[in-house]
Amino acid sequence: MTYLFQPEPQPYLPVAYSDERIPVRRIFCVGRNYAAHAREMGRDPDREPPFFFCKPADAIVKHGITVPYPPETVNLQYEGELAVVLGKDGANITQSAALDHVWGYAIANDLTRRDIQTAAKELGRPWDMGKGFDHSAPISAVHSANKIGHLTHGRIMTTVNGAVRQFADLKDMIWSVSETISILSQSVILKAGDVILTGTPAGVGALNIGDTCVVSIDGLGELTTKIGMPIYTA
């Protein structure tokens, strides 16, 4: 038996300070996980359970790579986020065991076609086209939890052309990393290579052609993404 078409290459993330790579399986994203951002999106953050959406693994964009301005939007937005990379399979993971499943941490930019997402919300339609488009998942190299420990607090900051747009602390997440892993694992089987984007703080806003967006998290360095001209063909 042979494949009819050549399979696409395995999406991966580089490991920081190493030539090793992590094969990426799925990218899960938490919808609202900082109270001030939930409020700016018009929601009451109090005790709403977390919800999830996905991005395709082949939407990953590495550090320093230019993202072509995506089609069908006039409101591309950045969302700086902590990414959690799993290194161990599991379902129905308890909160106390959850961090054992974490291989490491990275910086992500949950790029969003906000106008498409907003229209989908109003119509009760799925978010996929607002969130899971081509090049929608810039993610940095992954830092091993064995080396840097588990991130429960620390500065998360987003700049656009050097101006600070998001400035918050990881400790302000409504649902902790261990709670998020535990809750998500009640819903789907999680596997090594899965990546969870843990939600963005307040201050989301637009990116335009020519902009440089830098997301930084204490202990993880920086993720730089430039926005370039649209592309019209594959």
At its nearest, how many Å lie between Mn ion and the CB of residue 50? 12
Q: Which is nearer to Mn ion, 110 or 194 (CB)?
A: 110
194 binds Mn ion (CB under 5 A): no
Contact (CB, 8 A) for 168 and 201: yes
The bridge status of strand 155-160 relative to strand 163-169 is: antiparallel
Stretch that binds Mn ion, among 105-113, 133-141, 152-160, 175-183 (CB under 5 A): 105-113
Q: Which is nearer to Mn ion, 15 or 156 (CB)?
A: 156
Q: How many CB atoms lie within 10 A of CB 44?
A: 9
Among 110, 113, 160, 207, binds Mn ion (CB under 5 A): 110
Residue 57 beta carbon to Mn ion: minimum distance, rounded to whole angstroms: 16
Nearer to Mn ion, 144 or 200 (CB): 200
Contact region with Mn ion (CB under 5 A), list: 7-15, 71-79, 97-105, 177-185? 71-79
* 77 scored as a contact of Mn ion (CB under 5 A): no
Residues contacting 227, CB < 8 A, separation 6+: 66, 67, 68, 69, 76, 207, 208, 209, 210, 211, 212, 213
For Mn ion (CB under 5 A), the number of binding residues is: 3
With contacts defined by CB under 5 A, name the span among 38-46, 99-107, 152-160, 197-205 that binds Mn ion.
197-205
Which residue, 123, 120, 101, is CA-closest to 53?
A: 120
Binding to Mn ion by residue 79, rule CB under 5 A?
yes
Residue 142 buriedness (CB in 10 A; 0-12 / 13-18 / 19+): buried
Does residue 200 belong to the site contacting Mn ion (CB under 5 A)?
yes
Phi-psi region of 105 (alpha: psi -120 to 50; beta: other; left: phi over 0): beta
Shortest reach from residue 5's CB to Mn ion, in Å: 32
Is the Cβ–Cβ distance between 110 and 79 less than 8 Å? yes
C-beta of residue 202 within 8 angstroms of C-beta of residue 40? yes
Return the range that interacts with Mn ion (CB under 5 A); candidates 1-9, 12-20, 79-87, 205-213. Answer: 79-87
198 contributes a contact to Mn ion by CB under 5 A: no
Closest Cα to residue 134, out of 72, 52, 47?
72
Binding site for Mn ion (CB under 5 A): 79, 110, 200
